[in-house]
Each structure stands twice: as structure tokens, then as C-alpha cells.
């Protein structure tokens, strides 16, 4: 699946199940949270920290998918921002 298809899948999910698109700051905070959850699983399951009972049923694959989901949102925001700036710049140069 390429980036454009991924963005379309995320857009469909947001329209059908989500609330709305959040701004870049909120997405960055969500990305940090999701990466932290991945790090916690890796550190406790594969590293030297002991795994808590509450963490044993957490799925690393699902947490990684959450990271990809938020990153696709961030990429979409960046591309839209670039397109807006590019169109604005071209319009003002004429």
C-alpha cells in the first residue's frame, strides 16, 4: 500500500469512526504517546524491565499500527500545508 492509499484509508476511517482531524500539535502529542507505548512493551517484554501483569495482553503490532496511523495523519497535514503554501506563492507571483 502506498502513501496516497494509506491516507485515503485513514481519511475514510476518520469520516466513518473518528471525531475529526486534529492539528499538528495534537497529532505530535499522540505520536509521542503511541511511541511511548511501543517503547514500554519492548522494554518490559524484551528488555531488562519486568513486564507488569496489565501489560502482558498488549499487542505490539497494534501499537505499531497506531504509530503508523498517526504518522500518516502528520504526513497528510504536512502535504496539505505545502500545497497551500505553494498555491499561494504561485498566485502572488503572477
The 10s digit of each residue's pLDDT in 60-84 is: 999 999 999 888 888 876 776 666 6
What pTM does this model have?
A: 0.71
- Given this model, what pLDDT does residue 94 score? 56
Q: Which three cell numbers stand for residue 79?
A: 502535504
3-state secondary structure of 89: helix
Tell me the mean pLDDT per 10 residues along the chain, length 94.
Answer: 79 80 86 96 93 90 93 78 65 60
Angle between helical axes of 3-16 and 60-93 (0-180°, round to 10): 100
Q: Which three cell numbers stand for residue 57?
A: 495482553
Q: Residue 92's pLDDT is what?
A: 60
Amino acid at each position: 500500500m502506498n502513501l496516497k492509499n494509506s491516507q485515503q484509508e485513514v481519511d475514510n476511517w476518520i469520516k466513518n469512526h473518528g471525531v475529526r482531524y486534529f492539528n499538528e500539535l495534537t497529532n505530535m502529542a499522540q505520536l509521542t504517546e503511541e511511541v511511548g507505548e511501543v517503547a514500554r512493551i519492548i522494554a518490559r517484554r524484551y528488555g531488562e524491565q519486568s513486564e507488569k501483569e496489565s501489560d502482558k495482553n498488549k499487542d505490539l503490532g497494534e501499537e505499531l499500527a497506531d504509530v503508523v496511523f498517526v504518522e500518516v495523519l502528520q504526513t497528510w497535514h504536512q502535504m496539505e500545508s505545502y500545497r497551500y503554501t505553494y498555491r499561494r506563492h504561485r498566485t502572488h507571483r503572477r
